[in-house]
Amino acid sequence: MQKFIYTAVFLLLVSAGSIIFIKLDKEAKRKTCYENIQRLEEAKRKFGAEYGAGLGSHITLKVLETYLGEKGKEISCPSGGEYSINPVGQPVTCSVHSFEKEVR
């Protein structure tokens, strides 16, 4: 019986540990994605200012690559989401993460 209790407690600790780990991992990926979106937004702003792209102008990720520097081509969601640059005036979005609650 005692052995069973030890096993049960052990399994409980392991599962609690993995839940915490998964949560932290998910949170870290979300944070990276948010930072990527911030970089894309910044690039979008720079492009808009330079080319006078008004509200509703369509901008592609390809166009923004020059504003993202060396690592521009590697910018991707760690959870495998796809970024939508969206027209000027609309925020950059990720197909996996939603950042509507965050202040932009």
Sites of contact with Zn ion (CB under 5 A) = 33, 77, 81, 94, 96-97
Closer CB to Zn ion, residue 40 or residue 53? 40
Choice between 32 and 57, CB closer to Zn ion: 32
Task: Name the minimum Å distance from CB 39 to Zn ion.
Answer: 13
* Least distance CB 71 / Zn ion (angstroms): 16
Paired residues of 87 in beta bridges:
none
Q: How far is the CB of 55 from Zn ion (least distance, A)?
A: 25
Distance of CA 31 to the CA centre of its chain: 6
What is the number of alpha carbons within 13 Å of residue 52 lying toward its C-beta?
0
C-beta of 50 vs 100, nearer to Zn ion: 100
> Are 33 and 81 a contacting pair, CB within 8 Å?
yes
Residue 88 vs 96, nearer CB to Zn ion: 96
Cβ at position 34, least distance to Zn ion in Å: 8
Q: Kindly state the tokens that stand for 70.
A: 């060396």
Question: Residue 4, Cα to own-chain centre: how many angstroms?
Answer: 43
Q: Rounded to whole angstroms, how far apart are CA atoms 52 and 8?
A: 64
